[in-house]
Structure 1
Amino acid sequence: MRYAGLAIAFVSSMCFAFSGPMAKYLIASGLAPIEAVWARMAGAGLLLIAVLAVVKPAALRIPRARLPFFGMYAIVAVAAVQLLYFLAITRLPVGIALLLEFMAPVMVVVWVRFVRKVRLARAAFVGAVTAVLGLGIVVEVWSGLRLDALGLLLALAAGACCAGYFLMSDSFGDDVDPLGLIAWGLAGAAVVLMPFARPWDIPWSAFVSVATPAAGALELPVLGAYLCMVLIATVTAYILGVNAVRRLSAAVGATVASLEVIGGAIVAWVLLGEELGVFQIVGGVIVLSGALLAQTATASAQPSPATGLAEPVRTG
């Protein structure tokens, strides 16, 4: 079914959308943002490895020739995205940093067209740019124009690593089990982030408390918020996300993933009492339009005359 990949990508982006709101509960309980990120990566990675070791141990076997790929996936596609984003928001308004990180769809389209030499449908380009413009409206980019050169570079680097996640998820063959790749990627990211998060200093007693991130927010057990972040916003989100990219292609999957920002705003509205303004609603409609437009490109990839090679077209 042609739209199966789109449906999987949509659900994945909605699962990812819980990460920010749930992280706010951990931060409100006393954890630093990077500590919350590390707890998320470590918990999800260890859980997935434990489950696979029992139900599908073959998925955890890494072909010797694929060790560098697994290492790059953990460092670039998972750890670097998180670390660079958190470094960027120390120097830029959150909205600006988020918008630059979600330049990833455009970066993916450019890479696929000019590096992989795949002739994409015009819908892929227009959809990616439309989604980015919509995100600019959602975060009200004009309201935070304090720009820092290093912050801009960090945010763009986060976007490039985010693009790497989609491109790498689209490029491995049948010798790599997606579940094993995700499990080792998350666990490896936790190892990479350990010197920055310093888990030995995390206030673990906070996990047995309850927290209210802001006035008007729902009070939730911190452990419940953490489990939601691990099970839904990480394990389920990554598994669905990788499978969606394999069906849709990196260019389309990256654009559809932009819906995470909209989903995050909706979750924050329900749980945290953060109201959606006119710009968030209008921008959300534009992002959705861009994602739907890009999806039409799944049946239109053509090989470049220079190479005669075409990207696999996955239509579900």
Structure 2
Amino acid sequence: MQGISGTPTRRSGLLPALTSALAFGGSGVAAKPLIEAGLAPLHVVWLRAAGAALVMLPVALRHRHALRRRPGVLFGFGLLAVAGVQACYFAALSRIPVGVALLVEYLAPALVLGWVRFVQRRSVSRSAAVGVVLAVLGLGAVVEVWHGLSFDPLGLLLALGAACCQVGYFVLSDHGSDGDDPVDPLAVIAFGLLIGAALLTALSRPWQMDWHVLTRQAALGDKSVPAILLLAWLVLVATVVAYLTGVLSIRRLSPQVAGVVACLEAVVATVLAWFLLGEKLGGWQLAGGAAVLAGAFIAQTATPKAATDAVAGSSPDPTRDQGLSDSANRA
């Protein structure tokens, strides 16, 4: 978000950016054992969002005026960036490997360029188009399309749904930085979690959840760990710490650097799933994953050209488009 980038101080921003990528990357390996232990994916999402919302409640109270100023941005953020992304991503985890789900979700930066080109009708650079093509080809290698899709089609569709919701996150983050009085990013995160948790409560019906699962052990690869510890990691580290350090890094890093570091999330998730859950990927899938990340990186750092036929109300200023890549990825 342009409004929070500030003066780049890369040395002090790199550590929180790495912390955010590591924290977000660990969400899948913490959630999947809980799902396999008997919790429904929607219940795991609700536990994550509700727990993080409680932690961030003091921040929401401090910025309660933001709900009156920009309700559309905050409700959209809660619906798409919190409820939508996490529900689709965790549902995908119940059917396909962690690394594959997150790599599919990393089509989001490429889809953002599609939003800019076909919805806002603004020209994009040639390098951005190359990034989109590279990401799509890489995805084809990850799912091994020549074998008729080597993974569950519904799981892949759910992961793609997470990518589409992620587009909404980027677009809403951009709108949240508009105007002379932009919304504080901490307020967006806090209210997004509260609103997302409220929506997920109605959808997931947590009163029907098997709460006893949290009192038992869960299988983490060939080891057993207390389920409540996995939930604590998911809430405190993979959500609260991940969001807060992501915001801090965005304040101190340029959009390009923040986007590059955020791509490490998929690498971290794949490596952790490999070593902790035994989910190994083949050579073609690893090569395809590298292509997806490279395409996402190019799409994130490529600045759309100035609009020649911009839609009414959209700014042709290319620096504003960098706000689409300013935000940390949230799954």
> TM-score, normalised to structure 2's length?
0.74
Asked whether 1:274 is paired with 2:279, we answer: yes
**Which residue in the other structure is 1:283 paired with?**
288
Aligned positions of 1:97-246 closer than 5 A = 101-143=105-147, 145=149, 156-173=160-177, 174-214=181-221, 216=222, 218-241=223-246
CA contact (8 A) 2:103 2:292 kept: no
Once residues 267 and 142 of structure 2 are traced to their aligned partners in structure 1, the CA distance between those partners, rounded to angstroms, is 8
Q: Which runs of 5+ in 2 are unaligned?
A: 1-7, 327-331
Once residues 126 and 3 of structure 1 are traced to their aligned partners in structure 2, the CA distance between those partners, rounded to angstroms, is 28
Once residues 274 and 153 of structure 2 are traced to their aligned partners in structure 1, the CA distance between those partners, rounded to angstroms, is 32
CA contact (8 A) 1:124 1:252 kept: no
Aligned positions of 1:65-84 closer than 5 A = 65-84=69-88
Asked whether 1:46 is paired with 2:54, we answer: yes
Larger displacement relative to structure 2 (6-15 or 73-82): 6-15
Once residues 36 and 49 of structure 2 are traced to their aligned partners in structure 1, the CA distance between those partners, rounded to angstroms, is 19
Once residues 266 and 213 of structure 2 are traced to their aligned partners in structure 1, the CA distance between those partners, rounded to angstroms, is 27
SS of match in other structure, 1:219: strand
Once residues 258 and 136 of structure 1 are traced to their aligned partners in structure 2, the CA distance between those partners, rounded to angstroms, is 19
Once residues 284 and 185 of structure 2 are traced to their aligned partners in structure 1, the CA distance between those partners, rounded to angstroms, is 37
Considering only aligned residues, what root-mean-square deviation do their CA atoms show, in Å? Answer: 3.9
May I ask how many residue pairs the two structures share in their alignment? 306
Seen in structure 2, the aligned counterparts of structure 1 residues 203 and 154 have a Cα distance that, compared at 3 Å, is: closer
SS of match in other structure, 1:220: strand
Once residues 295 and 103 of structure 1 are traced to their aligned partners in structure 2, the CA distance between those partners, rounded to angstroms, is 11
Question: Which amino acid counterpart does residue 36 of structure 2 have in structure 1?
Answer: A
Seen in structure 2, the aligned counterparts of structure 1 residues 97 and 17 have a Cα distance that, compared at 3 Å, is: closer
Could you tell me how far 1:81 is from its partner in structure 2? 2.7
SS of match in other structure, 2:66: coil
Could you tell me how far 1:163 is from its partner in structure 2? 0.6
Once residues 18 and 128 of structure 2 are traced to their aligned partners in structure 1, the CA distance between those partners, rounded to angstroms, is 17
Question: Which amino acid counterpart does residue 59 of structure 1 have in structure 2?
Answer: H
Aligned positions of 1:78-97 closer than 5 A = 78-84=82-88
CA contact (8 A) 1:49 1:60 kept: no
**Which residue in the other structure is 1:16 paired with?**
24
Once residues 230 and 25 of structure 2 are traced to their aligned partners in structure 1, the CA distance between those partners, rounded to angstroms, is 13
SS of match in other structure, 1:211: strand
CA contact (8 A) 1:103 1:159 kept: yes
SS of match in other structure, 1:170: helix
Seen in structure 2, the aligned counterparts of structure 1 residues 166 and 98 have a Cα distance that, compared at 3 Å, is: same
Q: 2:68 aligns with which of 64, 68, 85?
A: 64
| Partner deviation per Cα, 1:257-277 (whole Å, 9 max, x = no partner) | 565433211111222233343
Seen in structure 2, the aligned counterparts of structure 1 residues 138 and 103 have a Cα distance that, compared at 3 Å, is: same
SS of match in other structure, 1:289: helix
Question: Which amino acid counterpart does residue 179 of structure 1 have in structure 2?
Answer: L
CA contact (8 A) 2:33 2:220 kept: yes
| Partner deviation per Cα, 1:115-168 (whole Å, 9 max, x = no partner) | 335443322232233234334333444445399999887665443222101111
